[in-house]
Homo-oligomer: A and B are copies of this chain.
Amino acid sequence: MNRSAAPIQDVAHLGCVELLTPRLADSRWYFCDALGMEIVHAASASVYLRAYGDYAACTLKLTEAKAPGVGCIAWRAVSPEALERRAAAIEKTGLGQGWSDGDYGRGRSYRFRDPDGHSMEMYYEETRYLAPEHLRSVLKNLPMKYTGRGVGVRRIDHLALLAGNVTANRRFMQEQLGFRLREQVLFDHGTVEIGSWLSPSPVHHQVAYVKDIKGGHGRLHHFAMWVDNREDVLRAASLLSEHGVFIEAGPSMHNNSQGFYLYTYEPGGNRVEIYTGSYLVFAPDWEPVTWNEEERGTGVYWGGALPQSFLHYATPNIEASATSETREPVPIFDPA
């Protein structure tokens, strides 16, 4: 891709993620009591939360549903003009779904789908969070105090989405939203795109697309929340173990992204990552790092391997379709 031809950077960051859960009360407990997020609003079938370091009023929405999965993924634009530009561009692709007044804490929003069918929207206006007295930090530059409850996640970080066609979705994010490509897993001598990591900012990635080997659509591999220190991830592992939360993998370190991870399943069934580390990409002419079957190895920097469930489980959980790829990627890929 010719950098000079790239769209202006119109997306600022991942703004809010909606998770669907068949066990709303338990999922609420997980994010509020176990991870330490704050509940800011509640509607009939949804609860709205935020992490102490998020500047926005709401960054996670839990919505009751028959099956777990990801609902609407909201991206914030850098300006009103940027929002209009992106909406117009997406409109032309035929994936646009029109404007709404915006969900809790956000203004006018443009709804669309990515090629794989994940629901997304973009917005600019946002209600800045103002902490009530008892949650005000002694630090003026912190939107809310660190309460110390549970894991104490600082902010939402990224999403890993499954897709039938990684290439199509990766291109959509690059071309329509101006995301930059950071790393890729390419199999069969670089001809098969297994996974791609993209970001609208120097943060390593805010979205990853990974091949859905079961032939599903619109599915979620995981949603990740940031903590500031690796010790916070180790502490999270002990705390969640004591809470009886299922730990699938980690704490350990990915080779891809250099992220330090802990993968758990929230009670609704969605995979949630407690995440830190990784690296910032400052280079304007960054050349995406590519990994082949052998280099990708186990996905773990320090040896060992991610468990089979990491490859096979996503939400909603489905049986492999008749039309799905029957050949499994070997070795295990890893949507960090």
A169-217 interface with B by 8 A CB criterion: 183, 201-203
CB distance from A294 to the nearest CB of B (A): 11
A157 to B137, CA, bound (A): 26
Nearest residue (CB) in B for A33 is B148
- Give the size category of A's interface with B: 35 or more
- Pair B284/A76 contact, Cβ less than 8 Å: yes
Partner of A138, one of B56, B140, B242, B307: B242
Given A242-B146, A303-B241, are A3 and B79 also a contact pair (CB < 8 Å)? yes
**Stretch of A23-31, A63-71, A159-167, A275-283 at the chain-chain interface:** A275-283
Among A146, A148, A255, A286, residue most surrounded by chain B Cβ atoms (within 10 Å)? A148
Chain B proximity mask over A277-303: 1 for CB below 8 Å, otherwise 0: 101101110100111000100000111
CB distance from A168 to the nearest CB of B (A): 24
A14 to B238, CA, bound (A): 27
- Pair A203/B280 contact, Cβ less than 8 Å: yes
Chain B proximity mask over A55-83: 1 for CB below 8 Å, otherwise 0: 11000000000000000000011110100
CB distance from A54 to the nearest CB of B (A): 9
CB distance from A196 to the nearest CB of B (A): 14
Chain A residues within CB distance 8 Å of chain B? 3-4, 8-9, 12-13, 53, 55-56, 76-79, 81, 124, 137-142, 145-151, 183, 201-203, 228-232, 234-235, 237-239, 241-242, 244, 246-253, 255-258, 262, 277, 279-280, 282-284, 286, 289-291, 295, 301-304, 307
